[in-house]
């Protein structure tokens, strides 16, 4: 298999997201890009079981254990009787056996998908514990660990980190979207590559009607490390600004100048982003979360469109149109929003990013691109 020369690959992706779900993470546009580049793509969603159904998992509307072709991608929601979970540090030892058993619960579809793949991409999360069984079923395929997030940030059980590090000789290479994550992968030595997230310019083209009825509007999308406390301070300090929260993952009640929306397909969120006065990335602080200044897709989208953003100080980085605040600090929240409003009507240059096609090509063969070197 020589994907660098454009030979078609059979690519298998393991992710905790489902390709068909409304919420867009980075693996969905990467899968789309792989299809555009001429590759066959199978997308398997993991960490789903009867426990997920009881908990009200957003994937419950998708049929499980039934392959479906969607947008040219073979999709499969892999449901098991139970799945491993992290009950917290005190009880983590009791959950550890589930992590040893889970890889053996695979269905015939998953087993055959692994065997026929020429490239296998395993995203950070529960999929890391599958690495030994994947290599056991497929000795020749290119096995890639794609670190969308630090395992500690997403609350992974210690068994997942242990499985990842003990699989270092099984993995061909690791891709990270931020150089700030490199120190977590010293054990990969020279097989670690930097590949930032991308943007699909076509997503943001054309004229999109504004959904807003007032002049000043701030918008936040997604549940990652979402801090509802930001809005308690912001909506009171700025009664003339409407604050729009889309798919935050926690229960919030719309009131006053706070507007709350259920999760919606990415394409529907674009008109909210394009027409916003400023974007909001209300991350709560977590150990090691500094890499979000590079990997936050919502902040990238604001930057690409030239929209100022208000975000937690550790996610601001050195970007001139991001206004950082200290979480739970009303005064710094006020100052950040004032800063964004002050330049809202000024011309701001848009940041340039790789396209998702660029990203997909680098994931398949990072050695061919000098900019991936650390």
What is the set of active-site residues?
Answer: 149
Task: Work out the number of other CB atoms within 10 angstroms of the CB of residue 81.
Answer: 8
Q: From CA 57, how far away is CA 21, in angstroms rounded?
A: 11
Alpha helices by DSSP H, 81-178 = 92-101, 108-116, 131-137, 158-166
Decide: 85 and 115 in contact? Cβ < 8 Å. no
As a 3-state breakdown, the chain gives helix, strand, coil percent values, each rounded to 5, of 40, 20, 40
What is the β-pairing status of strands 10-15 and 192-194? unpaired
Q: From CA 87, how far away is CA 176, in angstroms rounded?
A: 27
Task: Work out the number of other CB atoms within 10 angstroms of the CB of residue 262.
Answer: 8
Tokens of 249: 């993952």
Q: From CA 176, how far away is CA 197, in angstroms rounded?
A: 9
In the block, residue with structure tokens 């098991």:
80
Q: From CA 173, how far away is CA 170, in angstroms rounded?
A: 9
148 in helix, strand or coil?
A: coil
Q: From CA 184, how far away is CA 151, in angstroms rounded?
A: 10
Decide: 303 and 309 in contact? Cβ < 8 Å. yes
Q: From CA 318, how far away is CA 322, in angstroms rounded?
A: 8
Decide: 258 and 235 in contact? Cβ < 8 Å. yes
Q: From CA 130, how far away is CA 14, in angstroms rounded?
A: 9
Query: Which of 322, 293, 305 is closest to 225 using CA atoms?
Result: 293
Tokens of 85: 């979970």
Q: From CA 314, how far away is CA 75, in angstroms rounded?
A: 36
Q: What are the φ/ψ torsions at residue 129 (nearest 5 degrees)?
A: -75, -10
């Amino acid at each position: 298999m020589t994907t660098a020369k454009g030979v078609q690959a059979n690519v298998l992706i393991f992710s905790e997201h489902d390709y068909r779900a409304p919420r867009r993470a980075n693996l969905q546009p990467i899968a789309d890009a792989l299809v555009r580049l001429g590759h066959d793509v199978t997308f398997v969603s993991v960490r789903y079981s009867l426990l997920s159904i009881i908990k009200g998992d957003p994937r419950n509307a998708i049929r499980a254990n039934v392959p479906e072709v969607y947008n040219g991608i073979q999709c499969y929601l892999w449901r098991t009787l139970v799945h491993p979970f992290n009950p917290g540090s005190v009880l983590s030892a009791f959950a550890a056996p589930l992590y040893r058993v889970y890889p053996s619960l695979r269905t015939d579809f998953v087993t055959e998908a692994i065997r026929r793949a020429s490239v296998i991409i395993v995203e950070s999360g529960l999929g890391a514990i599958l690495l030994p069984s994947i290599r056991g079923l497929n000795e020749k395929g290119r096995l890639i660990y794609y670190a969308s997030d630090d395992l500690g940030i997403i609350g992974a059980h210690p068994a997942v980190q242990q499985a990842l590090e003990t699989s270092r000789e099984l993995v061909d290479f690791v891709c990270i979207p931020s150089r700030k994550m490199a120190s977590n992968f010293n054990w990969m030595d020279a097989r670690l590559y930097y590949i930032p997230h991308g943007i699909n310019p076509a997503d943001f083209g054309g004229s999109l009607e504004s959904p807003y009825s007032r002049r000043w509007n701030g918008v936040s999308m997604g549940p990652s490390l979402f801090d509802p406390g930001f809005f308690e301070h912001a909506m009171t300090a700025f009664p003339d600004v409407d604050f729009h929260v889309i798919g935050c993952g926690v229960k919030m009640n719309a009131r006053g100048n706070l507007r709350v929306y259920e999760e919606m397909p990415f394409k529907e969120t674009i008109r909210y982003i394009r027409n916003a006065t400023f974007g909001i990335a209300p991350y709560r602080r977590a150990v090691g979360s500094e890499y979000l200044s590079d990997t936050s897709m919502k902040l990238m989208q604001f930057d690409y469109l030239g929209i100022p953003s208000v975000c937690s100080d550790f996610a601001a980085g050195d970007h001139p149109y991001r206004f950082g605040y200290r979480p739970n600090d009303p005064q710094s929240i006020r100052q950040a929003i004032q800063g964004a409003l002050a330049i809202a009507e000024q011309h701001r240059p848009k940041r340039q990013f790789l396209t998702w096609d660029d990203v997909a090509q680098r994931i398949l063969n990072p050695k061919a691109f000098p900019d991936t070197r650390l």
